[in-house]
Structure 1
Amino acid sequence: MSNFLQSVRGALILGVAVGVIGVLALLFAEPFYQRIVFIFMVNLIAVIGLQVFMGNADITNYGHISFMGIAAYAVAILATPAAIKKTSLATAPFGLGTIEVALPIAILIALALTVLIAFLVGTMLVRQSGTPASIATLALLVIVHVVIMNWVDLTRGPRAIYGIPVKATLGMATICAILAIVAARLFRDSSWGLQLRAASENIAAASAMGVRIKRLRLVAWVVSAAICGVAGILFALFVGTISPKSFYFDLTFLTLAMLVVGGAYSVSGAVLGSIVVTFGFEIMRYLENGPQIVGLKLPTMFGLTGIFLGAIIVLCMILRPRGLVGDDEIDEIWRRRSKNRERSEISANASGAAQ
C-alpha cells in the first residue's frame, strides 16, 4: 500500500505541474498560444503512451503514432455529420457514408478498435526482441500509413477528412494528460512493470524465474496503444480536419525525441522531455522568421527547428545517454537526496559531538 501511495503521490506531482500549465494557458493566454498548449498536451499524451511500452519493455517503438492515426480516423469517420459525409465520403463502405454516430459512442468505438488492432498486432510483435521488434513497429507505421493513403473510399486517401465536430478543449486535453500520467506511473510501479523492466535487462534469468515476458509485453503494448489512441481522438476533435501526413514520420520522430531527451525509463522523463522540446521548438520557430531582437534584425533561417531537434538529441546522447531524468522519477530523486542530506547532517552532528 505504501508503494501504491508513493506512486500516486509522484504521479500527482507531475499532474499538478501539467495542470498548472493548462490552467495558466486557459486563464491568460491568447487563442494562438492556447492552441500551442493544446498540441503540447496531445504530444505529451502520445509520449506517455510511448513510454509505457518503450520504457518498460526496453524496445524502441516507431509504431505508436499509427494508433493515433487509427483512433483519429475512426472517430472522424463515425462522428462527422452525415450531411458532410454525403459529399466527402459518399462511397464509404459498410454504409458509413450515410450514418452519424453520437460523439461519446464514436469515441468508445474508436478506442475499442484501436485496442483490438493493438492486441492482434501485439500477439505477433511481442515474440520479437531488440532490433527485429523495432523494425516490426516501423513496418506497422508504414502499413497503417499506406492503408490510409490507398483506402480512398473510407479515408479519402491523401486528401483531408473535414467537417469533424470540434468538441475537444484545452481543459479536456489537460485532464486526459493528467490521467495518462497517473496510469503510466501506476503501471511502471506495478508488479507487471517491475517484472517487465527486470526481464528487459536479462530475459533468460527472468524466464527462469517464471516471468511471463510475452504476456507482460502484450499488456504494455495494448495500454500504450490505448493512451496514444486518446491523443489521436483529441487531435481530431480539436483540429476538425485530419490527413495521413498528420500521423507519420514527422510526429513519430518528434515524440521519440521528447522521450529520449527526457529519459525513456521514467514517466517524469516523458513529461520533462515534452516540455523541453516543445519550448525549444517554439523558440526556434520564432527565430526562423528573422525577428528583430534588441534592435538587431536577424536573417530568416528556415529549417532551424529540424537542426534544433537533431542537435538536442545528439547532445543528449553525448552528455545524458539515459535522458535528463535518467531511470528514476522526480519524486524518487528528491526522496533519495533528502535521505542523503539527512545522513550527512547526522554524520556531521555525530562528528561534532565526538569532538
Structure 2
Amino acid sequence: MTTSSSFRRAFETPILLILIAVLVATIGLFADATISRVAVQALIAVVFVTGLSLFSGNSGVMSFGHVAFMAIGAYVTAYLTIPVGLKKSMFSELPESLGFLATVHASFPVAILVSGLAAMLLALIVSPAVARLGGLQAGIATLALLVMVFTVLNSWTDVTRGSSSMIGLPKSTTVWWALGVAIVAIIIAWAYKKSRSGLQLQASREDYLAATAAGIAVGRHRAIAWVLSALAAGMAGALYAGYMTTFNSKTFFLTLTFSFIMMVVLGGYLSLSGAVLGAIGVTVLQEVLRRFQDGAFTAGNSLPAGVADLLLAAVLLLVLVKAPLGLMGTRELRLAIRPVEGTRS
C-alpha cells in the first residue's frame, strides 16, 4: 500500500465525519429558527456521544453515567458566565470556601475549556473504580456515579440551587461554537481510537483474557479512555448550558441519559461513525415526532402524549432485533473508491 493510500485510509473517516458536521452546521446557519435549533442540538449531541463512544466503543463497557460529566460542565459554565451581580444575589449563602465563585467571571471559550477539565478531574477521581471493574459491574458503577452526582446537585441548594433553575446565563452557544467543539471532539476520539492505548483497549474488548495474558494493562487503558471521554462530555455540558441558558439538577438525569444511549445504540456504539450518525439521526427524529405529537404536521390534530417516546422505543427495539450492534455495527465511514491498479507496493 502506498503512502498516499495509507494516509487516506487513516484520515478518511474523521474527515467524512467532520464534513457531515459542517453540513449540519451549514443547514442550521441558513435555515429558519426551528431547523437552526435542531442543528445546534444535533451538534451538541455529537460532542457528547463522541465522548461516550471514546470510552464505550473502545472498552466495550456501556457507560450510563456520562451525563454526570455533562452536568459538571453545565454548572461550571454557569458559575463562569452568569454576570457577577446576578450571582451575588442568587448565591448569597455560599460556603466561605466557595465564596470566590460569586465573583469569578470568564469568557465562553474559557468556560468550555474549564468545564471539560473539571469533568476530567471528576473522571480521574473515580477512574480507579472504573479501571478495576468490567462488564455489567462497570456499567452499574457508572450509573451509581450518575446517581451520586444528581443527589449532590439536587441537595446542595446553597451552591447548586437544587431543583430551582440556574438562570441568567448569556446565550453564548452558536452554530459555529457547536461545530468547532464537535470537530475537536471527533479528532480526539479518532486519534485515541488509532493510538496504541486505544488499539490495546479494543483488544481487551474483543478478548479480555487474551489481552491480559498478552501483558496489556487493561485497567490503565480503560482509565485513560474514561478520562478523555469526560472531556468531551464536559464540553457538551458547557455548550448545552450556553444554548439553553437555564437548567436545573433534574435536567441531567435519566431522561437525558436514555436519549444519548439510544443515539449510540442505534448508530452502533462500537463505531465512532455510528455514534455521530446516531446523534444526528435521533435528534432529527425526536424533533419530527415531537412536532407530529404537537399537531404541527397534522393540521392541528395532535397525537396523544407519549406517542413520540413510544415510537422512538419501537424504532430502538426494531434496530436491536435486526442489527444488535447498531446500524453501523463496527464499520466506519469510508469512501467507496478502490485503489487504482498498480498503486500497491
TM-score using structure 1 length: 0.89
Residue identity opposite 1:72 in structure 2: A
| Cα distance in structure 2, aligned partners of 1:297 and 1:148 | 39
Tell whether the 8 Å contact from 2:82 to 2:168 is kept in structure 1 after alignment: yes
Task: Find 1:247's aligned residue among 248, 252, 263.
Answer: 252
Q: Provide the secondary structure at the position in 2 that maps to 1:250.
A: helix
| TM-aligned CA deviation for residue 7 of structure 1 | 2.9
- Match for residue 317 of structure 1? 320
Cα shift readout 1:186-219 (whole Å, capped 9, x = no counterpart): 2112222211111112112111111110110001
Q: Provide the secondary structure at the position in 1 that maps to 2:102.
A: coil
RMSD over aligned CA atoms reads 2.0
- Match for residue 267 of structure 1? 272
Is residue 80 of structure 2 the alignment partner of residue 78 of structure 1? yes
Residues 100-115 of structure 1 aligned to structure 2 (within 5 Å): 100-103=104-107, 104-115=109-120
| TM-aligned CA deviation for residue 86 of structure 1 | 1.9
- Match for residue 47 of structure 2? 45
Gapped runs of 5+ residues in structure 2?
A: none
Moved more, 232-241 or 143-152: 232-241
Is residue 74 of structure 2 the alignment partner of residue 98 of structure 1? no
| Cα distance in structure 2, aligned partners of 1:153 and 1:238 | 24
- Match for residue 289 of structure 2? 284
Residues 204-219 of structure 1 aligned to structure 2 (within 5 Å): 204-219=209-224
| TM-aligned CA deviation for residue 291 of structure 1 | 4.4
> Is the radius of gyration larger for structure 1 or structure 2?
1
- Match for residue 13 of structure 1? 16
- Match for residue 36 of structure 1? 38
Residue identity opposite 1:206 in structure 2: A
| TM-aligned CA deviation for residue 6 of structure 1 | 2.5
| Cα distance in structure 1, aligned partners of 2:300 and 2:100 | 54
Tell whether the 8 Å contact from 2:58 to 2:193 is kept in structure 1 after alignment: yes
| Cα distance in structure 1, aligned partners of 2:10 and 2:187 | 8
Identity %: 35
Is residue 226 of structure 2 the alignment partner of residue 221 of structure 1? yes
Moved more, 176-185 or 156-165: 176-185
Paired residue total: 335
Q: 1:297 to 1:237 in 2, by over 3 A?
A: closer
Tell whether the 8 Å contact from 2:68 to 2:146 is kept in structure 1 after alignment: yes
Is residue 194 of structure 2 the alignment partner of residue 189 of structure 1? yes
Q: Provide the secondary structure at the position in 2 that maps to 1:222.
A: helix
Cα shift readout 1:26-52 (whole Å, capped 9, x = no counterpart): 02x122321221111111111111101
Q: 1:300 to 1:8 in 2, by over 3 A?
A: same
- Match for residue 158 of structure 1? 163
| Cα distance in structure 2, aligned partners of 1:166 and 1:9 | 34
Cα shift readout 1:253-292 (whole Å, capped 9, x = no counterpart): 0110000000011111011111221222122112112346
Gapped runs of 5+ residues in structure 1?
A: 343-355
Residue identity opposite 1:119 in structure 2: L
Q: 1:135 to 1:292 in 2, by over 3 A?
A: closer
